[in-house]
Structure 1
Amino acid sequence: MSITYQFDVLPNTEAIIDLYNSSTIVRPTNDKDRISNMYANSNLVATAWHDDLLVGVARSLTDFSYSCYLSDLAVRKEYQHQGIGKQLVWLTKQKLGDQCMLLLLAAPAAIEYYPKIGMDKVDSGFIIKREQ
């Protein structure tokens, strides 16, 4: 199976929702406008494709100089455990360069995953949670 990775293709909202629903990520997939706005306001999106099927995405917000927040990392359930998520993170970091840090908030079910792909855990963070 050949997976291709791209930065220059923004998937349509329906493909993103389908990917999210088929992965373990929890996002407001019943709100198409919100998903569309999430991507319209992101400035670094890496995608993974099996032929014409979107199988993975890493969606980030960054200044490309100092910091990057990787807000979504999702891989279709049937494509997980094949290194696609790790490759999306690695490609994102490569695009950012050495001067930019990469930060994410892990879902409880994914906390053990990120150290396995070379990320360090941080304890110094604060959050104001969304209300919706």
Structure 2
Amino acid sequence: MRYISSKHIPTEELQKLYNDAGWFNYTYDLNKLNQAFSHSLYVLSVWDDTELIGLIRLVGDGISIVLIQDLLVKTKYQNQGIGSSLIDKVLKRYKDVMQIVCLTDNQENTKSFYKKRGLSHVSNYNVVAMAEIKPHI
């Protein structure tokens, strides 16, 4: 497996990965998905030969805030430490950033995954998170 830091990932590979995760809102408009990647702060992808098997995508200024926008690992590669490795690498890279934020599914296994990586529920900081989430990007 190879880790590659690049915002430029073939559209077909992105589509396969996002569809595998069931994140069809992202593949509804592939031009917007490509724009989102080109405007990202940082993207780290994982490859098995020529197959994209996972990635983490960050947005933000890299100084005061970083948002973990996407963390995906193809189903057949899950539970092999790839997602943990991706998040550990970016947490190390941005260790001096004041706020690292992640919006995620409200499922126990997902919340447990991020807690093991050192992230906490926002209520632990006496703050509240607010959002407007639209069906398509």
Q: How would you bin the TM-score normalised by the shorter chain?
A: 0.7 to 0.9
Is 1:126 aligned to residue 130 of structure 2? yes
The number of aligned residues is 130
Report if the CA contact (8 A) 1:46-1:58 is conserved: yes
What is the root-mean-square deviation of aligned Cα atoms in Å? 1.9
| In 2: Cα distance, 1:11 partner to 1:113 partner | 26
| In 2: Cα distance, 1:107 partner to 1:73 partner | 12
Is 1:13 aligned to residue 19 of structure 2? no
Q: Aligned match of 2:91 in 72, 87, 93?
A: 93
CA shift for structure 1 position 101:
2.8
| 4+ runs deviating over 3 angstroms | 24-27
| In 2: Cα distance, 1:4 partner to 1:130 partner | 34
CA shift for structure 1 position 78:
0.3
Residue segments in structure 1 that go unaligned for 5+ positions in a row: none
What does residue range 10-89 of structure 1 map to in structure 2 within 5 Å? 10-89=8-87
Residue segments in structure 2 that go unaligned for 5+ positions in a row: none
User: Sequence identity of aligned pairs in percent?
Assistant: 25
| In 1: Cα distance, 2:122 partner to 2:63 partner | 20
Q: Which amino acid aligns with 1:49?
A: W
CA shift for structure 1 position 108:
2.8
Structure with higher helix content: 2
TM-score by length of 1: 0.86
